[in-house]
Amino acid sequence: MKSLPIAARLLLSSLIAFGLSACGTGNEEPAPEADAPAQDAVEHGHSHADGDADHSHEADAASEEGSEKTGALFEGSRLDEAAWAHFGTGVHEGDAVAVADLLATPADYVGEPVRIRGEVVSVCQAKGCWIRVGGEEQNLLVGFKDYAFFLPKDCAGKEVVLEGVARVDETSVEMRKHLLEDDGKHDEAALITEPIVEAKFTAHGVALAK
């Protein structure tokens, strides 16, 4: 076979080189894709900072009607600040229902603004975001409107006056356990197997005896 002219050989070499360049060898790394958005490193699990949310929905869910009435009803001078520490909207002078009376007939007070008085028997030891008022055997679970304020974690045993709205609803097994654990009662929490229906109260204002 005759040798190809120099010009033809140069053309053939160029075509071969071009084909290899265009197809690649098959071993190249694929071109990097655009970066995907990074996943948020913080997982938003259950915590008090999420609004009690996780238990604010249990202890802070008064009706809109009751909430609107509360602000209009409780007006005037607040209780003596020399004797009472005020939280939230504070508490005003006037008659207060004994918590024992509310617990005896809670349906009489549901959905209406009411001022109540009693003794703090337990308080959330994680944040002070709920209290129980009354006696050891029968008491009222109190949360604070909009999770906007908390009470001192050492306030158990003190007298308290509350302004807000009462309701009656179910407390789940999970929430009962959670509340007991918040109060450091882990052994009691482990024994809970049933939900209960109980009286609850959303406080707009609190006065704690000094």
Walk me through the domains of the chain, giving residue ranges and CATH numbers.
69-209 (2.40.50.140)
10 Å CB burial of residue 198 (0-12, 13-18, 19+) is middle
Q: With contact defined as beta carbons under 8 Å apart, do 164 and 145 qualify?
A: yes
Predicted TM-score (pTM) of this structure: 0.69
> How confident is the prediction along the chain (210 residues), in pLDDT tens digits per residue?
445 555 445 444 444 444 434 434 444 443 333 333 222 222 223 345 444 444 444 444 444 445 555 555 688 999 999 999 999 999 999 999 999 999 999 999 998 999 999 999 999 999 999 999 999 889 999 999 999 999 999 999 999 999 999 999 999 999 999 999 999 899 999 999 999 999 999 999 999 999
- Rounded Cα distance, 162 and 133, in Å: 10
What are the DSSP calls for 114-163, one per residue? EEEEEEEEEE-TTTS-EEEEE-SSSEEEEEEGGG-----TT-TT-EEEEE
